[in-house]
Structures are given as C-alpha cells and as structure tokens.
Structure 1
Amino acid sequence: MDRVSLDQIDQRIFAELTKNARISHAELATKVLLSRNAVRQRIDRMERQGYIQGYTVVSGPPGQSPVSAFLMVYRKDRVRGSDVITVLRTIPEVVLCDVVSGDFDLLVRIEARSLERIQEIWEQIAALPGVTDTVTAMTLSSVIRRGTGGVGNAE
C-alpha cells in the first residue's frame, strides 16, 4: 500500500502514541476531538502504511530495567547477506537492526530480561552461516531515550 502523508490529526495521534503507546482509544479520541472508532481506523491505517511498525513488550520483573547490548555483526556477503537479517527479524529481543557503513555491516540492539538471554542471542547470531564475526558492547546506562518521532515505532 502506498504511504500517504499524515494530516494534522494523524500527526496529533502519532504524537500522543509516542508519549504513551498504551493510551486507550477513548482517551486518545478525547485528546484529538474524534470518535473512538475514527481514532481506531486512523491507527489501523497508520499501521498498514508503516508509520506504526510495532509495539514493544519488555519481559522481566516489574520495575527492573532490561539488560541491553549493541552487537556489531560482520557478514560474509554484504550485498546478498539477507539471510542474517531474516533470522534477526524472528528474535523478539532484537529491537533495532541497522545496515551501516564502515567496518561492520549491521548494528543490532538487543534488550533482554537477563545477561544470560543476551548471551544466548549472541551465540545464536554468531553461529549463523552468513556471520563471520561479531563485536558486543553492553549498555552500562541509558542517559537519553526518546521515542522515534515519526520514524517508525511508537514507544
């Protein structure tokens, strides 16, 4: 489906979802002066068009921050190495995967419930046939965390 630009109401809905992705359709409707059904239809359309690409659930004990790491992945074939990306799409803890320029090919952010789960995911990725090497950087603390503001996911 073609991606149609967002009108002012869509932009207001998107901004509210970026602030609070769990807001009810009824509360959102009140904020943007539409019916609940109209809000639901607009959200459904933005999902179909790719403006909203997912909702994230972070598992683990309430109040405990997830463990996160960046994994720099080197692939055997930069141009035809889509098999690695296909597998990464199936791992729910992979919250970001960018193809980047420079020495390594993929920058992958993993958010998991434990360090052990990060290690399991790293082992899975490192064992993929298209991967030649990886470098891992554990996140020590997050000092800035913003919503994606129109790029894709609502947080």
Structure 2
Amino acid sequence: MKRILDPLDERILAELTANARIAHAELGAKVNLSRNAVRQRIERLERDGAIQGYTVRVGEGRRPTSLITSVIFVYRYDRMRGDEVLATLRSIPEITHCEVLSGEFDLMLRVEAASPERVHLVWKEIAAMPGVENTVTSFVLAVVI
C-alpha cells in the first residue's frame, strides 16, 4: 500500500536530493529529528518505494567510461534564423559536439548518455524544439580511429 508522505518526509527527501551523502545526525538537525528517527524514516521511505536508489553526479571533466554514444542529424526549418535551436542545444549536457553542416542536414550532434533511454529523452527534447523539422539518429557501435 502506498503511504502518503507527510511534510517531514518531504523535507527529508528534499535534503537527500540535495545531498544524498548527508549524515543522519546532520539531516536530523536540519529537520528537527533525532539521528535514529531520521534513519527509521529513511528506511521506511526506501521500503515504501519513495526512495528507489541513490546516484552519483559526475563533476566537470570527469565522464563515466561506459557512455552510450549517438549521432543526431538535425534539419531546421530555417537555417539562417535557427539561433534559438542552437541556444537550447547548448543547455543539454549530454550534447558534447554540435557542428553546422552543408548538405541535407544542418547540424550534427554527438550525444553521450548513460543509457539508450536517456538518448531517447534527449532526442525527444530536440525533436520537439520549435525550429526543428526533422532528425535522424544513429548509435555508435565501435570507434576504430
């Protein structure tokens, strides 16, 4: 049975979202509970599925070695006035290269993501941009040079 989170649970989740490595004693001080009470609540949140795991955010210049690489070719409606597309692409961290092309497509993007599902979400974001007419996506199978 799903349990409704109370405001204290919500505060604990907010603090853990900001810093999943926070010590129980420090978290307890922030939410006005004892270390043991915080530990018990976290265990319940995990058991009930409100917390489904913990993750690592990799800092600048440090990339995981097992990334999925894909190339997305983008055709814009208007090549000459597509600056808003470029500005939005700069805000997507998985895009590691963006090159302007001659020929059929306007842009070639290199996307490095942790999973194929994340590549799909990036592709959906790009395809939904105003100014993007079409895309073609290919996954990199091997790097030979």
**TM over 0.5, shorter chain:** yes
Kindly name which structure, 1 or 2, has the bigger radius of gyration based on alpha carbons: 2
On the 8 A contact 1:58/1:113 being kept in 2, the answer is no
On the 8 A contact 1:84/1:131 being kept in 2, the answer is yes
Which residues of structure 2 form unaligned runs of 5+?
1-59
Cα offset, 1:56, TM superposition: 3.5
Hey, which of these two has a bigger chunk of helix by percent?
Answer: 2
Cα offset, 1:57, TM superposition: 3.2
The ranges of structure 1 where at least 4 consecutive aligned residues each deviate by more than 4 angstroms after the TM superposition are none
Identity of aligned residues (%): 47
AA aligned to 1:81 is G
Aligned residues: 86
Which residues of structure 1 form unaligned runs of 5+?
1-54, 145-155
Cα offset, 1:65, TM superposition: 1.8
| 2:105 counterpart residue number | 104
Tell me how large the CA RMSD over aligned residues is.
1.2
Q: What is the rounded CA distance, in whole Å, between the counterparts of 2:61 and 2:101 in structure 1?
A: 23
2:62 to 57, 65, 73: 57
Within 5 A, what are the aligned runs for 1:1-80? 56-59=61-64, 64-80=65-81
Name the TM-score, length of structure 2 as normaliser.
Answer: 0.57
* 1:29-67 Cα distance to aligned partner (Å, 9 max, x none): xxxxxxxxxxxxxxxxxxxxxxxxxx64324xxxx5200
